[in-house]
Amino acid sequence: MGVIKVHGAAMSTAAQRVFTCLYEKELNFEFVPVDMASGEHKKEAYLSLNPFGQVPALEHGGQKIFESRAITQYIAMEYPEKGTRLASADKPSSSFLIWKEVEAHQFDPVASKLTWEIVLKPMFGMTIDPTMVEEYKAKLAKVLDVYEARLTKSKYLASDSFTLVDMHHLPTINLLMRTQVKQLFNARPRVSAWVADITARPAWTKVLAMQKVNFYPFIILSQIV
Amino acid sequence: MGVIKVHGAAMSTAAQRVFTCLYEKELNFEFVPVDMASGEHKKEAYLSLNPFGQVPALEHGGQKIFESRAITQYIAMEYPEKGTRLASADKPSSSFLIWKEVEAHQFDPVASKLTWEIVLKPMFGMTIDPTMVEEYKAKLAKVLDVYEARLTKSKYLASDSFTLVDMHHLPTINLLMRTQVKQLFNARPRVSAWVADITARPAWTKVLAMQKVNFYPFIILSQIV
């Protein structure tokens, strides 16, 4: 099927989802850095890869794929037998379907909002809105209460195996665990054990090693704004 | 596999996604109304169906499924041969994967925010924030520009057939087409033809017929807040 090319930025949380997936699958890939500081992701060449002008974008066997969660599902299905089995080879279980949507619609909107307030605003010298922080910490606490109960039933969110569902959480959890918000994770024993487990995976360690601090603030900002 | 039960409210946009799917699949189902006005969706019995306390929730063959897009994928896979084929019977195409995520991460957050400002706030006597409306109309216009280009390549978003991807847009498009925002859809010929096509489907007409105006404001509010 030819070379796998990932266009993106090492510090983009969405690109990190894709890198993690490729490392889990033990697939070689070519990383094509997108110079977001100069607005390369909003120029014509990049827009032909992703018309929404966001990183990452994947090229593989003549196909152009965007949206990080579409890319990870594509990779998992193209290479079911390689590396970690991140999704069922045939019909997905109902719990896989449910918890994949929970990450996208319950966890990520809240976690991304907190990341913006607590991690990114200070980097840009912007003022944190304490009301917003408290509101979203309360929302995240409710989500994590559901996760704590869920993790009494299976070791990972969708099943007893690590899947795309857990993997999709990694980049945002990584940022939040460096802030005051880590208390919300640590206060819940099963959530805390799950976070320790998934962040210790070799694939994730490789993604962290890709990061260079130079363009950190700008690249994440472009991603979110 | 036994009876299909949908717990929800006829006016909930998320529940409407599921009803549409069941009508497209020509499946019989039992609709169990959830009395959101009295907070039934936040009480223990309902939380055992969906721990996030949101409608809808599905019961089928001993399984409890929540998150509207997880339910529609579950139904499409359980009954591939019934009614409209809403998803590939085997491996989904990359375009299906991409555009399913686009609805969830590009279209819906913007469309739902506009629905809140323009449709729901006036119902509750709340003041519309004109700055927010203009900001999100500009965001929706950009999304619809991408859709207009996409619809030169295939009749529907994922392929030349109607799929879950198009179906997931219906409830929010229905609300926005009753507001000033309809101009954004109508100004784009292919988007406009696509909206006319998908809103004319018999399954969607059946969903509209389920609606009773009595609890309209409250039920939608509970959904979004």
Q: What does the pLDDT look like over A165-195, one tens digit per residue?
A: 999 999 999 999 999 999 999 999 999 999 9
What gap in Å lies between CA A2 and CA B198, rounded to an integer? 38
**Residue B76: which of B25, B121, B123 has the closest Cα?**
B25
Q: What is the DSSP letter of B82?
A: S
**Residue B50: which of B31, B32, B66 has the closest Cα?**
B66
Q: What is the average pLDDT across B54-79?
A: 97
Q: Which residues, 6 or more positions from A26, have their beta carbon under 8 angstroms from its beta carbon?
A: A82, A83
Q: B194-221: string of b/e by CB count within 10 Å (b at 16+)?
A: bbeebeebebbeebeeeeeeebbbebbe
ipTM: 0.93
User: What is the phi/psi pair of residue A8, to 5°?
Assistant: 175, -155
- Chain A neighbors of B92, CB-CB under 8 A: 73, 77
Q: Which CATH number fits domain A94-201: 1.20.1050.10, 3.40.640.10, 1.10.10.10, 1.10.3720.10?
A: 1.20.1050.10
Size of interface A-B (CB pairs under 8 A): 64
- Chain B neighbors of A65, CB-CB under 8 A: 94, 97-98
Q: What is the DSSP letter of B127?
A: P
> Higher model confidence: residue A37 or residue B32?
B32
A94 and B65 in contact by Cβ < 8 A?
yes
pLDDT reported for residue B215: 44
Q: Which of residues 37-76 of A touch B (CB under 8 A)?
A: 51-52, 63, 65-67, 69-70, 73-74
pLDDT at A216 over 80: no
A51 and B98 in contact by Cβ < 8 A?
no
pLDDT at A210 over 60: yes
pLDDT at B60 over 70: yes
Q: What is the average pLDDT across B167-175?
A: 97
B67 and A105 in contact by Cβ < 8 A?
yes
Would you call A191 helix, strand, or coil by DSSP?
Answer: helix
CATH node for B5-87+204-219: 3.40.30.10
A51 and B92 in contact by Cβ < 8 A?
no
pTM: 0.94
pLDDT reported for residue A219: 46
**Residue B114: which of B129, B103, B124, B101 has the closest Cα?**
B129
Chain B CB within 8 Å of residue A101 CB: yes
| Residue of chain A with shortest Cα separation from B59 | A94
Test mutation, A77, A97, A99, A157, chain B, max B CBs within 10 A = A97
pLDDT reported for residue B96: 98
What gap in Å lies between CA A73 and CA B191, rounded to an integer? 27
- Chain B neighbors of A105, CB-CB under 8 A: 67, 69, 104
Number of H helices, E strands in chain A: 12, 4
| Residue of chain A with shortest Cα separation from B93 | A74
Domain range list for chain B: 5-87+204-219, 94-201
What gap in Å lies between CA A149 and CA A151, rounded to an integer? 5
pLDDT reported for residue A212: 63
Cross-chain CB nearest to A77 (options B70, B91, B100): B91
What gap in Å lies between CA B49 and CA B52, rounded to an integer? 9
- Chain A neighbors of B14, CB-CB under 8 A: none
What gap in Å lies between CA A27 and CA A225, rounded to an integer? 31
What gap in Å lies between CA B70 and CA A157, rounded to an integer? 15
A104 and B104 in contact by Cβ < 8 A?
yes
pLDDT at B75 over 50: yes
pLDDT reported for residue A124: 86
Q: For chain B, what percent of residues have pLDDT higher than 70?
A: 93
Instruction: Cite the DSSP H helix spans in A55-188.
Output: 68-78, 94-102, 108-114, 121-123, 130-150, 164-176, 182-186
Q: What is the average pLDDT across B160-164?
A: 98
Q: What is the average pLDDT across B41-57?
A: 97
What gap in Å lies between CA B93 and CA A6, rounded to an integer? 19
What gap in Å lies between CA B194 and CA B182, rounded to an integer? 13
- Element holding B133 (H helix, E strand): helix B130-150
Contact (Cβ atoms closer than 8 angstroms) between residue A79 and residue A27: yes
Contact (Cβ atoms closer than 8 angstroms) between residue A199 and residue A177: yes
What band does A224 get if pLDDT is binned at 50, 70 and 90? very low
Q: Which of residues 127-146 of A touch B (CB under 8 A)?
A: 143, 146
Q: Which residues, 6 or more positions from A107, have their beta carbon under 8 angstroms from its beta carbon?
A: A143, A169, A172
pLDDT reported for residue A218: 46
